[in-house]
Amino acid sequence: MTNAIDGLVSGLDTTTLINSLMTVEAQPQALLKASVAKSQTLISALQGLNGQVAALATLATTTAKPTSLDLYSSTSSSPTVTTALSPGAAAGQLDVVVGALARNQVGVSAAMTAWPATPAVLTIVANGVSTEISAASTSLDDMATAVNAAGTGVTATKVASGVDAGGTAQFRLQFTGNSTGAANAFTVYQGTKAEVTAATAPNLLTATGAAVIRTAGDASVTLWAGTAATQTITSGTNTFSNLLPGVAITVSAESTAPVTIKVARDDAQISSVASGLVSSLNGIFATISTQTVVTNSTNAAGAAVMSPGVFTGNSSVRDVSQKLLSAASSPINGHSPSEYGISITKTGTMEFDAAKFATALAKDPTTVKAAVQEIATRVAAAATAVSDKYTGQLTGQITGQQTSVKNMSTRIDAWDVSLATRRATLQSTYTALEVSLSALKAQSTWLTAQVAGLPSSSTSTTG
């Protein structure tokens, strides 16, 4: 609250005067606020850089793993045989003849109008397990519902099947195995488990008018067909795992001619991994460079102004750049990474020469892959030391800046209290001055009036 009485007596603009005095008084606080803003800008930039370095550490750690560059691609000479690779794949070739596809079992009961016995009970034997199933009624809908809820791996469906001699609609129950393979064959009996054990329960799928539409069967492929080494491999599904190390094949049609499967080292993927590591490094170098550059401009008066970047003069950031660059470009067993297409440029960044890398990889894949993993190992160590969330070099600088900002903020808050007290004191002083001047003016006016009211006297002289 302002208690000043602006210029009522003195004519002074006391509010403006106080504000001017307070601006001078607040200069130390203004400097603190400017320092806080500068530190917060630096913290934000450091956090961004730290995030990039942490991402590089993760990428490099993955690349440094022993199998990270064991990358292969596979092809098939027929679209009816597809391949999928998994860790452990290796180069190789194999011819297969697809003899059969995996089948699930399908069977239908004889035509009926309702379940032929009360209570409505059947037993399904699948995978050596007998499951007795009771329906809510003799309705075929209820029977299908009960089968489907039993979880035996068999699904029941009511299918229309004309009318009987009396004109009543008839239906069949179709039983379908949910999984393929000979091991998933099943039998459906009319009756309880005890009756099945006693061999008194009729087989619903072999009864008069019933049928097994499709038997359960395994898929099969033949290797080295027509030779003395011919071998047939079976699978309960249409997928065969590890016919070649780390390679699964899936068949979708029978064949008479061999289908050729090839697995070869994928040089393009290996090159992409190496290129990605270099790109991640260059992203960090670009960030540091951009935020270190000094910008030249002019102010409103036309004078030259130089604006330093947020990292300008920051020795810690400069050290981070040097450590990463050294880790990526130092010799490996006496050989420069440039021999493999990974080199340092005149501007202090990295360069990846895809053509040179491909040539070196084709000539000596073992040495080139080992070189990439060595570079990745060194970069991972350097990047982790910089970005570790507890002991990282950048982490420590960020924490230090945050502590500094916290301390300065506390001092700024203290200045708020001090400045508020100072303003109140000035307002009180100038208000008291106006009051005192007002009292003096009133006294002066009274005295003037008193003097003016005194009787005038004259002295005459006679001679």
Task: Tell me what pLDDT residue 391 has.
Answer: 92
153 and 174 in a single domain? The answer is: yes
Report the mean per-residue pLDDT for the chain. 90
> Residue 387 and residue 392: Cα distance in Å, rounded?
5
pLDDT at residue 6, rounded to an integer: 64
Distance CA 428, CA 422 (A): 10
Whether residue 357 is found in the same domain as residue 408:
yes
For residues 57 and 179, membership in a common domain is answered with: no
- In this predicted structure, what is the pLDDT of residue 35? 87
Report d(CA 252, CA 238) in Å as an integer.
7
CA 46 to chain centre: 22
**265 with 348: CB under 8 angstroms?**
no
In sequence order, what DSSP letters do the residues of 294-305 get, joined into one string? PEEEE-TTS-EE
Q: Which helix (DSSP H) or strand (DSSP E) does residue 240 occupy?
A: strand 239-244
Residue with the two structure tokens 């350097």:
382
Tokens standing for 180?
A: 């393929």
Residues 228 and 312 both lie in one domain: no
Q: In total, how many domains does the chain have?
A: 3
**Has residue 37 been placed in a domain?**
yes
pLDDT, residue 2, reads 46
Of all helices (H) and strands (E), which one includes residue 241?
A: strand 239-244
Which stretches of the chain drop beneath a pLDDT of 70? 1-12, 305-306, 456-463
| 43, 310 Cβ separation under 8 angstroms | no
Q: Which pLDDT belongs to residue 447?
A: 83
Q: Is 438 domain-assigned?
A: no
Domain boundary among 196, 214, 232: 214
Interatomic CA distance for residues 31 and 407, integer angstroms = 14
pLDDT on residue 1: 45
Contact 99, 221 (CB under 8 A): yes
Same domain, 270 and 242: no
Question: Of 198, 214, 230, at which residue does a domain stop?
Answer: 214
pLDDT at residue number 348: 86
Range of the domain at 246: 72-101+219-265
Give the CA distances from residue 348 to residues 74, 94, 326, in Å, rounded to whole numbers and listed in that order.
39, 48, 10
Residue at 463 is within a domain: no
Distance of CA 366 to the CA centre of its chain: 32
- Residues with Cβ < 8 Å from 117, sequence gap 6 or more? 138, 190, 191
Judge if 230 and 210 occupy the same domain: no
Give the containing element (helix H, strand E) for 212.
Answer: strand 211-214
Same domain, 61 and 116: no
388: which DSSP letter?
Answer: -
Backbone angles phi, psi at 19, to 5 degrees: -60, -40
User: How far is 377 from 384, CA to CA, in rounded Å?
Assistant: 11
Q: Do residues 272 and 385 both lie within one domain?
A: yes
Claim to verify: residue 83 and residue 44 sit in the same structural domain? no
Q: Is residue 92 part of a domain?
A: yes
Residue 463: per-residue pLDDT = 45
